[in-house]
Amino acid sequence: MKNNFSVLSIVGTTATGKTELALQLAQKIILDQQFEVVNLISADSRQVFEGIEVLSGADIPADFVKKPADKFSWLPYFQKNQIRLFGVGCLEPTAEWSVSQFVEFARKIILSAQVKNEAVIIVGGTGLYHDHLFSVDPQLMVPPNKVLREKTATLLLEELQAMALRQIPDHWQQMNHSDQHNPRRIIRALEIAQSKLKFSLSADLLTLSKIKHSYLGITTDLETIFKKIEQRVAARIKARAIEEVKTLTAQHQSDLSQQLITATGFQPLQQYLTQQISLDESLTQWILSEKQYVKRQLTWWKKHADVTWFDRSAPNWQTQALKFGQDSLASC
């Protein structure tokens, strides 16, 4: 095991080519014999689901072969030669997926790769996943409490506030005004309080805290991103996006994961399939939600001063980005 192990995150908004660059970097690493194996971990809260690969833009290369879950990964993954791709098209559409589950999933792969001296690249647009992956706060590992969530699903905000005031009065006083009026934050605070986990730094957390974590960001102007989004939505419609939504709705009906249902494009296509809106209206709503998501992503990443950004409109940006990626992993 190398003590100076490094992990690279490739981040940015949707439609900036993160996965494409990650695959190019992985191939260059293998070609240059920098590492024998490269592990790509998708940090995308929607692309993880099986059955919406086209809708979510999972970008699984056609020549990658799906492998069953094993001791290296408790979810299926894709592989071509020395490159493995984790966290895409591998989770049952009825399953739930949380930050803590992603963190547990990705950390196992990272720690195994560290022992074997394999490269790890995290790629995807869900910023929260990148941020929490190397956090040493053990409370992040508290899994969702299904019983509690079902019990509180129909409660009004005032009822949730009263429950929190009774059960976690000290923590309630420490919550800010926004969190005290956010049902999801209140329920999460109750989950952590009810958890039987002992909050202490495990050996794994101590190991992770010593791993160097670098950020490579891809950006370009909004006009280019928005045009790309429009092109991608049109391409996904011509592919199997409508069929994916139709099939999943027919097979699972009301049992689909709430996260899957909120994937951009899913609900507009559902409305089209049930003749509530036209196909044109469905596409307009899908494109709008993608553009709104980009703006939220931009706001998120602006807060991160530790990201080294590469503008796609700049000359030789790709060469420079690949060099940065290899240099960031070189300390392994």
198-212 pLDDT, tens digit each: 544 455 655 776 889
Q: How far apart are CA 15 and CA 18, in angstroms?
A: 8
Q: Which CATH superfamily is domain 6-137+204-221+305-329 in?
A: P-loop containing nucleotide triphosphate hydrolases (3.40.50.300)
- H helices within 239-278, ranges in order? 241-252, 258-261, 266-273
Range(s) within the chain of domains with CATH label 1.10.287.890: 223-299
* pLDDT in the model for residue 99: 85
223-299: CATH topology: Helix Hairpins (1.10.287)
Range(s) within the chain of domains with CATH label 3.40.50.300: 6-137+204-221+305-329
Chain centre to alpha carbon of residue 113: 20
The residue type at 268: P
Q: What is the pTM of this model?
A: 0.83
At residue 286, does pLDDT exceed 70?
A: yes
* pLDDT digit string, tens, across residues 233-246: 999 999 999 999 99
* pLDDT in the model for residue 20: 96
Residues 127-137, mean pLDDT to the nearest whole number: 82
Q: How far apart are CA 211 and CA 204, in angstroms?
A: 11
* pLDDT digit string, tens, across residues 58-117: 989 999 999 999 988 999 999 999 999 999 999 999 998 988 889 889 999 999 999 999
Q: Report the mean per-residue pLDDT for the chain.
A: 91
User: What are the DSSP calls for 124-167, one per residue?
Assistant: -S-HHHHHHHT---GGGGPPP-HHHHHHHTT--HHHHHHHHHHH
User: How many residues appear in the chain?
Assistant: 332
The residue type at 209: S
